[in-house]
Structure 1
């Protein structure tokens, strides 16, 4: 085979090389002479830079550089570096024919002849604008994300390495946890946990859960730099690379202390509202029951009293009668407690010195307790004057002392104390003001928190069946609140109990009221026999009232309603000296009947008998009142007082 001449082979290789270079459009491949002027130009160069070969050949390659690069002589530096070091490689902005810029990767290689003479340079340029834009977009997104993360103040957002060490820190984390980034980055995240949680291994458990399930979410107490605690909602996410290898954890923490406290406050408000509604319903119920019960007791006690007066003295029967009367009187005391609880028991308000009240009751209290319990008092030298109902306060004190005795379950000490308090700030269970603390403390078994919370609940009792009604403390609470104060119980299991009545201190200069003298009828005594109109819709009560009045020597006309009473008064057949009427009657109440009588017969006295011991709004508070159940002696006293006053006013 005949071989080609060397010259033809060389020409063929050059042609192939030219075709190869011209076929490449993704790279600008061209030659520079030793001074940097363009000696060749391929289609890729034309596509990148926008110049056609005729208009760019012979021009200096520096025109592709930006003005900024020209000022620092970067084109000259590129050629000098290529000539001295054998290669120049760089990335930077380049300029197209139309003036737009593109990001280019540039390689310049020197070309030498066989003798080592520099013939020029080979220049390869690649347009990396798309990559540059993508990198810029990534950086922009990263910067925006960093700004976002650092701008979040309500959440602690930070990263942990695979071992749980903090690797970055946002401003929200600094605000919530109190650490600056330079104080906490590189430290283990377990220091945010409470000592109890660290002892239980909670930090490690959190990482294990996130590794196993990809996510851990929990609420619990966390600790700030200053040692204070906050209630946190925590999310911990495991972060893995494309190969599934763990590279760290993303941790988000939110302080929800205020939210939790608000939820607790809302729950308590709802519970208080429910309790208030329940107590109001019970109060209305007990008030109505007490009224009806008083009528029944009126019939029972009145009949027993009249029976005792008329029955011969029989040793076999008298104890039974006395026992029945005592049972009725205990029922009457129970209704008074129910009325006090339901706030339907009117207070006979007076100024009273608590020290005098305690000293006056000491003998009675000690006898009530027996020999097992010892009473001590802590009475201050100053006058502790409050404004309340003395009789009900005495009953309240007796209730508290008896409860204290029962709590002792044997020997022990009961202390009755009187102290003064000035409350100046809002927020406690007392409004600002001056208070007298009237307390009864025992050294008994005490109560747990649940029992303390239920202690004033109506009908709640820790005593055995038949030993307590569960209304004692409710009655005391009712009296205290009607007097403008608050009842407070301080007790712990095994440490005794103190029940305190915080009563507003009377204003300076208020003097305790002295006992009013019992009314004595005027010497100009009224006629022995009176014409009395007795009005009551309950036949049993009306019969007893009539029997009591007739037994006292009076003539009685009965009416079963207010309407019937007015008809009798308008009939003028009998000139009445007195009207005794029940208050709670259908159609016309006792107070409405009294108003009609005052209009038409202004000199006719009216006594209002009621099982509530309270008039509704709009009732005449000046009417003399006889609380049910009443005895014949009470009836006789009020009749004498009313008729005596009427005689004096004539």
Structure 2
């Protein structure tokens, strides 16, 4: 058993010692002396509680650790410990109960690691031959074994068997290169590991190792040469399975790449959606269309809105998982948020002949929230109600304030939710597995996004249902609500001044021409340019009152065009609006620069957003404009 004793004595990076059943220190290795500052003569015969802070000793926590170890076989924790000089260090501690063949407790093996510097070293204890063997066998989270000077395996603990899959009989007497991949053996890595340990006095590395069944795992390896009287006696080796950590790192990397892909995909999808949205808006402005045209137009509009929401959901999925969603709370008129949200879902409710009831106090409701994100929450809940409420059903939105908290409920008499599905309804990509037959199209992102946004506002959200066919109620609460209708007031708009109309700049001709046609139908004087150079020529010829400027153009992008326009005479008076396929929260450094723009629109451009923007721009309409 000398191998076990030598192994334990040589380990200096771990404190390993033995306690008798009462917690009295009976052995003390070099690592313990180095870690705690005590010599063996100072601690042997002392109760191990001397290593604990005063509060832990006062609570008799050391004795509780021994009781737990006796009851369950092993106790592990992390916490503060005290050195001889009174300084503290953060330690990982493992206490293993040691029993004789009859099952009687004969003592405890204790291993302490100093995690203050995040160093993980070999653990062992000094004790009699039998106790050393029991201690090493009790360590199961690390493979701890001895090699002779040539790398032949001399000992094998239960942790090694658990991690590598070999029994002691399988490996003792064989060269440890059997744990390396064939290509690593061919490259001489086992011999290099032994050489580096001898040269440096210790070596630590990470790499792939092979189990008995041929599977590989990512291992952290610490190897320490053992010298007796100046003669190399062998090597102590400690191996830890780090596969799960590597897997998590790879998952994080994959998640980042997926988020970047989703952002680019959403951008590319928005580009073709922009001219389609413009074309629909043109048809909506066309006077007295035929019934067939009107029906087809409205159908395209509904499906286009649905597709746009799916694109936004794709982007929000990446934002959720990467924590990129941000809110900008401000004093917000909740009544206006409700009006916008209901109006967005009105076509869908009308298409299904839903009866909608809005139950709100007569006074204005103000709440400290991000108006855009709050509208997103409401639209997700109302959209969910529409989706799962059959033709002719009823939907109700109720809002009340109590104790400065806004409580909102969206209820319906739709298909309802089974109890099992309620537990997962707010999880990402959940589509209501409890109601598989009633699933509708979607990505299962809306409710998860709603929960995240509500919680980011400091609120709570929940769902209830009487079961299948009994409808459902989704409710959320937000803090910082008031009935004070005078909390904010809008400033007056300035008078329209003279201007040179609107200049639309986009390298996508369909997008530029269709947006220009909408502006003409709205009564504005419009010019178009299909690249940066043409835009500058148009501005030099006549300074526009407003510019709708695409961000992502080749050769000369939108920010570059704007900078050049600002340098031209009268260019600093132009109202410049960026038009982009990227969402504001997904711009990467260097991808786009929105400095200097007065406003921003996202493709596909919404008609009402365009109306509001141009009213602010002071671009003059032509006589007879809408």
TM-score class, shorter-chain normalisation, is 0.3 to 0.5
Relative contact order higher in (CA < 8 Å, ≥ 6 apart): 2
Task: State the TM-score, normalizing by the size of structure 1.
Answer: 0.46
Which has more radius of gyration?
Answer: 1
